[in-house]
Structure 1
Amino acid sequence: MRIAIFVETYLPYLNGVVTHAKILRDGLIHNGHEVLIVTADKTVHEHVLEDGILRCPALEVKRIYGYGLSSPISMTLMKKIKEFQPDIIHIQQEFSIGLAGVRAARALHIPLVYTLHTMYDDYIYYIAPGPLTGIARRVSHNYVRFICRRADIITSPSKKSIDYLANAGVNRKVYIIPNSVELDDYAESATSPEQRAEIRQRYHIPPDAFVTCFCGRIGREKGVDNLIRLWASQCGGDPSHYLLIIGEGPYRKELEEMVQELGLHERILFTGAVPHEQIAPYYACCNAYATASLSEMYSISMLEAQASGLPVVQRLDPDNIDQIQVGVNGYLFETAEEFGGILHKLASITPDQRKALAQRVRDSVRERSSDSIAKYLLELYQQAINKHR
């Protein structure tokens, strides 16, 4: 099968959707299929096709994490898509490249699969000031309905998407396909004791400290400010606890100022952006992963942490609890006291107990490989092709 995957950004740019697209691409290729990635790239000035990736020229949108917006209408783009002769088009996002995928599927009379990764109601503030959020939300819902009407099949990594789409006026079957992770990249053998020690030394973290980490885009919707407040209230007075915040984003400077005001800048640490191929030792040098976000849809960062053997401490989100098996690969909290109690309990267990817990956590995500997501989607691709005939 020949599959064209349309995604707004791709490597070396890094976010959850990019990671998902890469893992899917690798799984499909491993199963003997041909894949073309189509993406916007603000660093190119003409369409560039190399190693199965078609990079389309784009203008930078600084307000939205420096994303690039490419023209969805392009004769060159359509020509290159036709030359690839896809059997199916799979769009991972809804903006300029996603719209180009919708147009290409219609022009070539081939099926379209759409994966919803993001509940855009949580991101409206990036493009609309407070008084205009209601209007922006209605426009967003109208656009999502437009995309869904043209898709033969809709998928999402989280059940949370079903309510979001219903609120947007979309009453369609949504196939829930949890995100995957490259297990070998985060296995215990993937990093050395020296690499783990070097990360701790770089940030002046003692070898015996208990380190909780978060990894992701540093934006308001990720709730990192709430995580910092929770950690500060429960662990700030214990010098054996550290919080490592991995990632970059527009909210970082404000958060760093908050940490300075709390007087915890020596134990709440910001790494900035870390290339994906270098991320494994950062997880491996930590003891737990924590998040206070309510905007996640089966977080890939949480999966990577679990694949690294880290138990996840997640703020209770009734619509997104599928990723946590309490006591097996993580814990849920509602109050600051519960959050602190979990971290202090994890910090108190013996080395043997910690090792056994890490193995249970890794075992819990063993079925989340690139092959598993590829095989599931291949069944849906064939279903869409049969339906389209």
Structure 2
Amino acid sequence: MRIGVFTDTYWPQTAGIDVAVKLSVKALKEAGNEVYIITPDDPRITVEEREKEKDDNVIRVPSIKVPGQSEGTRLGIPWIPSVIKKIESLNLDVVHSHTEFTMKMMAGKIAKRNNIKHCYTYHTMFKDISEYLFPSFLKEFGYKVAKWISIKSCSNCDEIIVPSEKVRDTLINYGIKKEIKVVPTEIDKESINQVDEKSAEVLELKKRWGICEGEPVLLAIGRLEKDKEFSKIIEQMPKIIEKNPNTKLMIVGQGPLKSKLELLAKKLDVESAVIFVGGQKYDDMGKYYKLGNILINAATAGTQGLIFSEAMAAGIPIITIASEGLTNRIKETQSGIVADSIEQIPDEVLRVIEDETVASELVENGHNYIKSGSKETYINTMLGIYSSGGSESFEKDKESDEKGFQEADAMIDNEHKNTPLTETKGITQINNEL
């Protein structure tokens, strides 16, 4: 099949969506499909990277920087006729959007003009993120905005795909009537597990980041945003260091909170024990997992917990805060330790560091669980979704789409009456674009 994958998040932006897209594209290509990635251009991309992207069928769309985003977040411009024409010349069989924003608008436009199926993966739990974006007195309004975005995004597509039951249940509770298909992202187990922790590459990374032999390394991975709760992990470091002074915390990721997190580590007098290594390409993540002794997570927001699967494949224990729908499988398979509160983390970390039997059991259980996944199953499932029902017009669900639009608009309009104008401005503009 000729598949067009549309995403607003792609290298050099690093996030869970970027990883999920790369893993999906790699699997589909290995199965013999012709896959194109359509994503916003970014001035940070090097000449060498651009040349490689040509071979990888990456098409960059002219873009603009999102105001107020310090990390260079960009959105593609979806209405340029020459770009639309170039993508249409690929004669795509299906388009698959991994975003709610401008690249999804482009995917929808191309699907409608060419009468092909438009599949959409809902990656982001806007409800969870809204808790960090809106002040407490606008919390309920934030939830309604999250619901509004979700209804809008799920209405204007032919197929809805989600990575976990947690996400599916959320969308059903929002009143989404279309069938929602759960397809977990299949990680690249080979590239993560094939790295030898004694290899020259891993030893060089240890030297680069000042990690001495025998020093325990806690690995925390993700974008440096509020919902990832890195501050809570750093706040527990004094207690951990008090019992095991050589412990290091390595944070892998980039984001707008880096300077604040660095300041927090300095304030708590643990700056020498907290290492910020920035965002890393997915192909290099196997080396970083091999640097770690424990994967530690304090975030409760998320859609599928890719880092848990990767840690299991890499063979390191997991210690995480409980998160409904995400950590259930860790409890059930005993492949990690699920703490009820952040205050329990130091004791659990020390228990795993000091007791090799506990660590070995967690690793073995994780390996046994992760072996059950299959790349072939993922590929067959996705190709089945792409081809089911034949080519469908974007207009086929027009009536139900319009109903969903009206319900979402009415919900937000009701909130306008009791919400300050400064908090709701832009809703109408976004509404018109979606």
TM beyond 0.5: yes
- The match for 1:185 is 191
Do 1:23 and 1:370's aligned partners in 2 also have CA atoms closer than 8 Å? no
Q: Structure 1: where are the runs of 5+ without partners? A: none
Do 1:178 and 1:298's aligned partners in 2 also have CA atoms closer than 8 Å? yes
2:57 is aligned with 1:40: no
Query: Distance in 1 between the 2:181 and 2:379 partners?
Result: 14
- The match for 1:230 is 236
* Structure (1/2) with the larger helix percentage: 2
2:386 is aligned with 1:381: yes
Question: Any idea what SS the aligned residue of 2:302 has?
Answer: coil
Shift of 1:21: 1.1
Do 2:116 and 2:391's aligned partners in 1 also have CA atoms closer than 8 Å? no
Shift of 1:296: 1.4
Stretch deviating more after TM superposition (379-388 or 97-106): 379-388
2:264 is aligned with 1:264: no
Do 1:6 and 1:90's aligned partners in 2 also have CA atoms closer than 8 Å? yes
Question: Any idea what SS the aligned residue of 1:72 has?
Answer: coil
Q: How does 1:64-79 map to 2 (within 5 A)?
A: 64=69, 65-79=71-85
Q: How does 1:143-292 map to 2 (within 5 A)?
A: 143-166=149-172, 168-190=174-196, 192-292=198-298
Query: Distance in 2 between the 1:134 and 1:35 partners?
Result: 41
Change in CA separation of 1:303 and 1:151 when aligned onto 2, cut-off 3 Å: same
Counterpart among 101, 106, 112 of residue 118 in structure 2? 112
Q: How does 1:19-34 map to 2 (within 5 A)?
A: 19-34=19-34
- The match for 1:57 is 62
- The match for 2:424 is none
- Structural RMSD (CA): 2.9
Change in CA separation of 1:232 and 1:297 when aligned onto 2, cut-off 3 Å: farther
- The match for 2:11 is 11
Question: Any idea what SS the aligned residue of 1:385 has?
Answer: coil
Question: Any idea what SS the aligned residue of 2:96 has?
Answer: strand
Q: How does 1:270-349 map to 2 (within 5 A)?
A: 270-326=276-332, 328-349=334-355
Query: Distance in 2 between the 1:79 and 1:44 partners?
Result: 26
Query: Distance in 2 between the 1:346 and 1:121 partners?
Result: 33
Do 1:2 and 1:87's aligned partners in 2 also have CA atoms closer than 8 Å? yes
Amino acid at match of 1:81: I
Shift of 1:159: 2.0
Do 2:318 and 2:336's aligned partners in 1 also have CA atoms closer than 8 Å? yes
Query: Distance in 1 between the 2:112 and 2:391 partners?
Result: 16
- The match for 2:403 is none
Change in CA separation of 1:14 and 1:371 when aligned onto 2, cut-off 3 Å: farther
Query: Distance in 2 between the 1:272 and 1:147 partners?
Result: 31
Amino acid at match of 1:11: W
% identical equivalent positions? 23
Deviations 1:20-47 (CA, angstroms, capped at 9, x unpaired): 11111111111121111111113399x9
Change in CA separation of 1:161 and 1:357 when aligned onto 2, cut-off 3 Å: closer
Shift of 1:84: 1.2
Do 2:331 and 2:338's aligned partners in 1 also have CA atoms closer than 8 Å? no
Change in CA separation of 1:139 and 1:184 when aligned onto 2, cut-off 3 Å: same
Do 1:235 and 1:340's aligned partners in 2 also have CA atoms closer than 8 Å? no
Shift of 1:263: 1.0
Shift of 1:297: 1.1
Do 2:197 and 2:291's aligned partners in 1 also have CA atoms closer than 8 Å? no
Change in CA separation of 1:344 and 1:126 when aligned onto 2, cut-off 3 Å: closer
Amino acid at match of 1:43: P
Query: Distance in 2 between the 1:216 and 1:223 partners?
Result: 10
Question: Any idea what SS the aligned residue of 2:330 has?
Answer: coil
Normalised by the size of structure 2, how large is the TM-score?
Answer: 0.80
Do 2:4 and 2:94's aligned partners in 1 also have CA atoms closer than 8 Å? yes
2:360 is aligned with 1:361: no
For these two proteins, the number of residue pairs brought into alignment is 387
Amino acid at match of 1:319: G
Query: Distance in 2 between the 1:219 and 1:44 partners?
Result: 21
Do 2:117 and 2:391's aligned partners in 1 also have CA atoms closer than 8 Å? no
Q: Structure 2: where are the runs of 5+ without partners? A: 397-434
Question: Any idea what SS the aligned residue of 1:244 has?
Answer: strand
Query: Distance in 2 between the 1:316 and 1:384 partners?
Result: 39
Shift of 1:127: 7.0
Query: Distance in 1 between the 2:339 and 2:186 partners?
Result: 24
- The match for 2:425 is none
Question: Any idea what SS the aligned residue of 2:152 has?
Answer: helix
Normalised by the size of structure 1, how large is the TM-score?
Answer: 0.89
Shift of 1:101: 0.7
